[in-house]
Structure 1
Amino acid sequence: MKIAVWDTYVTRKDGKIMHFDILVDEDTKNAEEVFEYGKKYLKSVAQEGQELSSKECRFCHIDKAPIEIENQVRENGFSIIEMENCN
């Protein structure tokens, strides 16, 4: 499976910048759908309510997904790779 990688930077409630990637099926073209996945993730890490739009989240590239990412995308519609200040 090939996945679309959306590079995302969100200001946390404490002012630090979170950097994470939202991974979706390459056929997912609706940015609003991707933003909703990002908001779902933010809620799961107690950062709900933070701004997430095209300013914070942009399509980056298409890549081949490892099997564990493929399974997460098939099951949930998305996967997250935490990069910086996500915990």
Structure 2
Amino acid sequence: MKVAIFDTYIPRKNGGFMHFDIITPADTSYEQALIFAQEYLRSKSQPILALTCKECKFCHLEQVVPSWKTHILRQGYYVHELKGCN
């Protein structure tokens, strides 16, 4: 299964940045990836007025990692937290 990686940087409400990847099936639209990113941010109580290509950018396609696949099949996407997401 090929997946799309959307590299995302969001300013935190208390300073600093959140850096995470939204990982979706390869055929997912950019607009849907933004919706997934907004869902994730809501789950972290991190409000954002609008997400754009400035904050969330398509990065590349790659083969799915087995641990991601379960999440993707269940909810349509997986979030790989990289920095400042706690």
Report if aligned partners of 1:12, 1:50 keep a CA contact under 8 Å in 2.
no
Q: Distance in 2 between matches of 1:50 and 1:22?
A: 18
Report what 1:66 is aligned to: 65
Q: Does 2:76 correspond to 1:85?
A: no
Report what 1:27 is aligned to: 27
Q: CA deviation at 1:50?
A: 5.0
Moved over 6 A (4+): none
Letter in 1 for 2:73: R
**Over aligned residue pairs, what C-alpha RMSD do you find?**
1.1
Q: Give the TM-score normalised by the residue count of structure 1.
A: 0.91
Q: Where does the alignment leave 5 or more consecutive residues of structure 2 unmatched? A: none
Report if aligned partners of 1:11, 1:50 keep a CA contact under 8 Å in 2.
no
Q: Distance in 1 between matches of 2:31 and 2:45?
A: 21
SS of residue paired to 2:71:
helix
Q: CA deviation at 1:74?
A: 1.1
Give the percent of matched residue pairs that are identical in Structure 1 and Structure 2.
Answer: 37
Aligned length, in residue pairs: 86
Report if aligned partners of 1:10, 1:51 keep a CA contact under 8 Å in 2.
no
The equivalences for 1:11-22 within 5 A come to 11-22=11-22
Q: CA deviation at 1:33?
A: 0.8
Q: CA deviation at 1:15?
A: 2.0
